[in-house]
Amino acid sequence: QVNLLQSGAALVKPGASVKLSCKASGYPFSDYYIHWVKQSHGKSLEWIGSIFPNSAYTKYNENFKNKATLTVDKSTNTAYMDLSRMTSEDSATYYCSRCGYYYSGFPCYFDFWGQGVMVTVSP
C-alpha cells in the first residue's frame, strides 16, 4: 500500500535552515509528482510546490520561491524539502503528498499524504 513517511519534528533556530524528508513506498516513486503543503498552527493549508522524481522538475508557489527548495533521491525513494532562513512565520506543520494523477504536471488533488512534521522556530 502507498505510504509517505516523513521525518520527525524539528526545532530550528531563527536564521537557520532545515531539511525535511518524505520516504515513499508502495508505488513507482518516479512516476508521481510529490507535493508539499504548509499548515500554520490552527490555520488552513498552503501549497508550497511540487517535484517530479523522474526528472527532478520542480514548480513552486511564488510565496515560497525564496524559502523552499525541493529535491529527490530516486535511489532511496525519498523527497526532500529545504527551508532556509527560518523565522517564526515558518513554524508550522509541513506535509508531503502524492499527486492523484499518474505522470501529471497539471494541478492535482492529493490522494496520499504523509503524517506531517511539525517545525518550530525558536532561539
Partner 1 sequence: DVQMTQSPSYLAASPGESVSISCKASKSISNNLAWYQEKPGKTNKLLIHSGSTLQSGTPSRFSGGGSGTDFTLTIRSLEFEDFAVYYCQQYNEYPPTFGAGTKLELK
Contact residues for partner 1, defined by CB under 8 A: 4, 35, 43-47, 59, 61-62, 95, 97, 100, 106-116
SS3 letters across 56-118: CEEEECHHHCCCEEEEEECCCCEEEEEECCCCHHHCEEEEEEEECCCCCCCCCCEEEECCCEE
Q: Minimum CB separation from partner 1 for residue 112, in Å?
A: 7
Q: Minimum CB separation from partner 1 for residue 43, in Å?
A: 8
Cβ–Cβ < 8 Å for 53, 79: yes
- Which residue, 27 or 113, is less far from partner 1 as judged by CB? 113
- Which residue, 35 or 83, is less far from partner 1 as judged by CB? 35
- Which residue, 29 or 33, is less far from partner 1 as judged by CB? 33
Q: Minimum CB separation from partner 1 for residue 11, in Å?
A: 21
